[in-house]
Structure 1
């Protein structure tokens, strides 16, 4: 039966969805006390919290109307810690507010920002998003929260754990102050209460029955396995339960990728869900679980909050969670909406105590056992095989005819064996595990027993003296010759320690026993008051310091303080210290034993002020021998005298000499020479650039004489005929007969010659090498004159 306070459009959506009754948390938010108030709701995971706050904010969203019109600004905001949870809330709100034609917009990280901005600008009544992306939209101006009437914080404790406190403050500061703020969480620790005081006003605390009875529909099993069999135990657990959908939780992404590869190699249909995946990949993984394409999901704690996987039957904790709250949130993925589920903890020997602490903190009882062995998995498979729907359902006429033909042709045994093989396809073989013994539960704390009659002693040391029971116990035993069984309680206080010693052996201690220098044990009368403040200064004075007050002025006099008692120090009597009058203090004087006189300023030490002197008033620098040095003046070169012995002889001025051929006189030649003078009979012509445009033709010896005044041009080549009849025969490469050396390249291998030959010697075009060339018979005959051949190119 539905609640009468549900709005009509939402009641129609619940009826169409198949809701007949509401859960405890849904009934709690619809009470008259919760109407219009801020709510702090705690309920177990899977109790219908999403529909609960959807029903709670309906009056603020609908405003008494059954059909919503266009909204330029959102009227409700839902903040979720993870992307998957935000999208799940949007899906739930989609069918819940569909009769009211409400528009839902999502703002989550990893999705296209432009698509979200277009959805917001088109008008959205309810916005669902994660803190980071919502803040981004607000800063960019695409999300306006000035019209928001209700804000919902889903899984608020998880948002604090993920570090979204600053983002939440920024988002809520952009919303109006008169809004409603609803906080939903599975647990309400101290941080959530502090957050509620910051963001909420006069919030109503709602605690449903599900929180007091945590996960009654979940069966907890703790499996003790060897460290090397951790992966094999997970394989056998999956095979033993054969769950339609299972989820495995790991601590890190590396562990997720490791198990993903191992399970994939075993033939399991598995997907991964971790923070390193993109939003599109995570959505595809969840969709594969929902439509049955994958049966196992390996995830980190990011997926532990708010993800609703329909039909999830098994949760495996491959790595133990960090705290009890995370254990409850992980396990809460199964056993939802009244269905049953199993939560399995894989516990290596090193983490046995940690598992016990987690279970005690979560207030759940787990069944400790070994991991399923290969034999147990085989037995479970045999039971499932016998109960398979293919064997229990009646076959159709066509199937019965085909089955009869198979049996007639192959026999019943072979048909049954073939069915068994086909049934095992896709199911991994179980693994063999090491034999391990289930450790016993931690021993309960030993109950306190009555020590019997005892005598209390006090020690003159406490916390200030860094006293410890393990340090005092052997000293007390050695001083009285007793054992530690005769010593009861040892209570270390601030400045002293109380020790309880059995009455039969207390007589072995004197009223005051010195255990060591500075450590004394004294008998007490009766029992000490352990709740009494420490001795010495009262506790009130230690915690509450009096305000500072200035001292009253002392009376005037030579010595206003009382005289000191000199009886205690007769060996060094001292006089009272006389107070000096600062006004009558004498100036400082040197001691009499010092021969040094105090500094007195001399009268003759008066100096005139500094005045810059002119160069004319500068006095010459006096020499050491007393001679007066003349001031420096620039001297002509002729007046310069040499130093040393040469200074006595007169020295003539230097004059540049010329011997007539343009060369300077040899060094050291000092004669009676005339100074150099430029000749008047050799006038020099100004230099003129020659005209290269019309070069002169080459003039041969037999050519006509040049014009008068022009110097004849020398021939380019000289021959033996030009050298004269007395010249010796000339060899190729030996020069030209006039003393000129051969070419530098004579004898190069590339020219085919030998050392000492000319560059052209040895070439075929020049004839044979080492052959002298004859001049023409008549040297005067110019027609037969030798003309050198042209050089070959290259």
Structure 2
């Protein structure tokens, strides 16, 4: 469906921006059923919802001539959860309604409030702002909503999560009863339902989640990794992709701080966004990303709301999202406007089933892969370097003069090698991961290693049914037993238990450390029982066969039922 039926001035603006046809959410709000009605809209990030509500409120703003009337009080109000999102909405509405002569005022925290009040006093057709700043202007008498025709709540669920319920209610209570209310919310929790029931009448429900672009512009990958290696996996993924801009999502501000510091220490140009950063710090971080001084942004979900980076092509879920909707919202930061993007989930081994269920529920086909190895990264580096050096370029006389001096002193091969070395020196070194250092169970059983001629076998009460895997069992044993990886021999995983060998010289020390580290919470590492075996796993199996199963009426119940283990 083309935009031909829209007012000419809006159609021209859309054409100038390269729009040829509406996205599903834009088409839905322009249907005859939606004309003039209150709307509850669910649409994923990057679906064009800002333009959608900009088009939806056109009948309430434009006169028959297609221009906006002269008026001092605002006709439309858009409320957004964060400063970045509000500024983004303002930019979109400015080009959309620019030809119609719209005056748009933006009221957000961190800006000069006196300038905002002057802008409001001079008259504005549309006011865009954050709840706190809008409420402040309203209480001071600078914002008059008596003539308002349409109110838009963008990302309403996020605003309620951030504690803006009272602000929203005070603002909406100050608007005329006959106004039109457009509520955009990715989810519909009970508070959103209550808000819609109170401030909307006969609202039309529209949902376009999963339509059109769906996940077509985003390639989803899931990387299984030992919990202790998550940070190293992040480093290798950043180095493997070398994305123009990348966003890393963490669950808490403390984890954002730690990961950001670690990346800076390794040489990455990174910035951080979380609740502990001031508005000035957020502004500097965003500017660094836009002018390419920084290429990596580490952020929490809330802090990343409203961020729109055209160059963002990689999203890494360093900590797993709480649900499928959060996964889609985070990942939607990339793959916009027809560009391709990659979203990578770092999945601790023991949480793979949960992630599988989440992906199936969201109808996302993710590719399960191993983390990039240092050799994978070096191979990509070679390819990228050759492409960069072989690109057509213009050289001035000074460049050629320096080149001639170099050729007089060194051979072309030496100069090229020095160029390659200088290129590599600027890039952070890749990391070796645990599952790249140590192979699987069978591999460790077959290799002959010096010092394992005389060993003691131990058992632990978790097995395949508890998602046991050598790649996270090894770090666990090192922590519990105060030993190194090199002091752990073969690992044999059975359905309900795992057997492993320790050199006899270290067995006593290991057993004492295991006793000291026992205990803790029911799901923690200390709850896993570890004890020495009498002989080898084969001896234990023979003993069990000789004794046979106990009579059914005296069937023994296990003294401890192991729970799925969650390594730290």
Query: TM-score normalised by the shorter chain: which range applies?
Result: 0.7 to 0.9
RMSD (Å) for aligned C-alpha atoms: 2.8
Alpha-carbon distance in structure 1 between the residues aligned to 2:300 and 2:72: 39
The 1:319–1:441 alpha-carbon spacing in structure 2 relative to 1, beyond 3 Å, is: farther
Three-state SS of the structure 2 residue aligned to 1:301 is coil
Three-state SS of the structure 2 residue aligned to 1:303 is coil
Alpha-carbon distance in structure 1 between the residues aligned to 2:63 and 2:125: 12
User: How big is each residue's C-alpha offset from its partner over 1:619-648, in whole Å with a ceiling of 9 and x where there is no partner?
Assistant: xxxxxxxxxxxxxxxxxxxxxxxxxxxxxx
User: How big is each residue's C-alpha offset from its partner over 1:689-716, in whole Å with a ceiling of 9 and x where there is no partner?
Assistant: xxxxxxxxxxxxxxxxxxxxxxxxxxxx
Q: Compute the displacement of 1:252 (Å).
A: 1.6
Match in the other structure for 1:393: 392
Cα pair 1:305 1:329 within 8 Å, conserved: no
User: How big is each residue's C-alpha offset from its partner over 1:644-677, in whole Å with a ceiling of 9 and x where there is no partner?
Assistant: xxxxxxxxxxxxxxxxxxxxxxxxxxxxxxxxxx
The 1:164–1:211 alpha-carbon spacing in structure 2 relative to 1, beyond 3 Å, is: farther
Alpha-carbon distance in structure 2 between the residues aligned to 1:441 and 1:106: 56
- Over alpha carbons, which structure has the higher Rg? 1
Match in the other structure for 2:51: 51
Residue 138 (str. 1) matches residue 138 (str. 2): yes
Residue 84 (str. 1) matches residue 84 (str. 2): yes
Alpha-carbon distance in structure 2 between the residues aligned to 1:22 and 1:401: 55
Alpha-carbon distance in structure 2 between the residues aligned to 1:32 and 1:73: 29
Match in the other structure for 2:271: 271
User: How big is each residue's C-alpha offset from its partner over 1:209-252, in whole Å with a ceiling of 9 and x where there is no partner?
Assistant: 63487422212222222222221111111000000000111122
Q: Compute the displacement of 1:188 (Å).
A: 4.2
Alpha-carbon distance in structure 1 between the residues aligned to 2:85 and 2:248: 18
Instruction: Using the TM superposition, name which of 336-345 and 66-75 deviates more.
Output: 66-75
Alpha-carbon distance in structure 1 between the residues aligned to 2:70 and 2:135: 24
Greater RCO, 1 or 2 (C-alpha within 8 Å, sep 6+): 2
User: TM-score scaled to structure 1, two decimals?
Assistant: 0.53
Three-state SS of the structure 1 residue aligned to 2:333 is coil
The 1:301–1:90 alpha-carbon spacing in structure 2 relative to 1, beyond 3 Å, is: same
Match in the other structure for 2:423: 423
Cα pair 2:24 2:211 within 8 Å, conserved: no
User: How big is each residue's C-alpha offset from its partner over 1:334-393, in whole Å with a ceiling of 9 and x where there is no partner?
Assistant: 1112211111112223544443343334332322222112111111111112222x3132
Instruction: Using the TM superposition, name which of 257-266 and 109-118 deviates more.
Output: 109-118
Three-state SS of the structure 2 residue aligned to 1:41 is strand
Match in the other structure for 1:40: 40
Cα pair 1:214 1:364 within 8 Å, conserved: no
Larger proportion of helix: 2
The 1:6–1:287 alpha-carbon spacing in structure 2 relative to 1, beyond 3 Å, is: farther
Alpha-carbon distance in structure 2 between the residues aligned to 1:271 and 1:481: 64
Q: Compute the displacement of 1:276 (Å).
A: 1.9
Unpaired runs of at least 5, structure 2:
442-463, 468-550, 556-568
Cα pair 1:271 1:298 within 8 Å, conserved: yes
Cα pair 1:45 1:329 within 8 Å, conserved: yes
Match in the other structure for 1:367: 367
Match in the other structure for 1:4: 4
Alpha-carbon distance in structure 2 between the residues aligned to 1:139 and 1:404: 71
The within-5 A match list for 1:208-357 is 208=208, 210-211=210-211, 214-357=214-357
The within-5 A match list for 1:519-558 is none
Cα pair 2:247 2:297 within 8 Å, conserved: yes
Residue 109 (str. 1) matches residue 109 (str. 2): yes
Between the two proteins, the alignment pairs up a number of residues equal to 447
Residue 95 (str. 1) matches residue 95 (str. 2): yes
Instruction: Using the TM superposition, name which of 272-281 and 331-340 deviates more.
Output: 272-281
User: How big is each residue's C-alpha offset from its partner over 1:723-745, in whole Å with a ceiling of 9 and x where there is no partner?
Assistant: xxxxxxxxxxxxxxxxxxxxxxx
Match in the other structure for 1:163: 163
Alpha-carbon distance in structure 1 between the residues aligned to 2:190 and 2:361: 16
Q: Compute the displacement of 1:415 (Å).
A: 1.1
Cα pair 2:249 2:298 within 8 Å, conserved: yes
Cα pair 1:312 1:333 within 8 Å, conserved: yes
The within-5 A match list for 1:438-449 is none
The 1:328–1:156 alpha-carbon spacing in structure 2 relative to 1, beyond 3 Å, is: same
Cα pair 1:186 1:211 within 8 Å, conserved: no
Cα pair 2:289 2:295 within 8 Å, conserved: yes
Match in the other structure for 1:178: 178
User: TM-score scaled to structure 2, two decimals?
Assistant: 0.73
The within-5 A match list for 1:646-657 is none
User: How big is each residue's C-alpha offset from its partner over 1:462-494, in whole Å with a ceiling of 9 and x where there is no partner?
Assistant: xxxxxxxxxxxxxxxxxx98799xxxxxxxxxx
Alpha-carbon distance in structure 2 between the residues aligned to 1:182 and 1:150: 8
User: How big is each residue's C-alpha offset from its partner over 1:176-207, in whole Å with a ceiling of 9 and x where there is no partner?
Assistant: 11111112233445654443333221122223
Unpaired runs of at least 5, structure 1:
444-479, 485-794
Three-state SS of the structure 1 residue aligned to 2:101 is coil
Three-state SS of the structure 2 residue aligned to 1:116 is helix
Three-state SS of the structure 1 residue aligned to 2:302 is helix
Cα pair 1:80 1:154 within 8 Å, conserved: yes
Cα pair 1:150 1:181 within 8 Å, conserved: yes
The 1:213–1:115 alpha-carbon spacing in structure 2 relative to 1, beyond 3 Å, is: closer
Cα pair 1:307 1:333 within 8 Å, conserved: yes
Alpha-carbon distance in structure 1 between the residues aligned to 2:244 and 2:87: 23
The 1:112–1:361 alpha-carbon spacing in structure 2 relative to 1, beyond 3 Å, is: farther
Alpha-carbon distance in structure 1 between the residues aligned to 2:396 and 2:176: 70
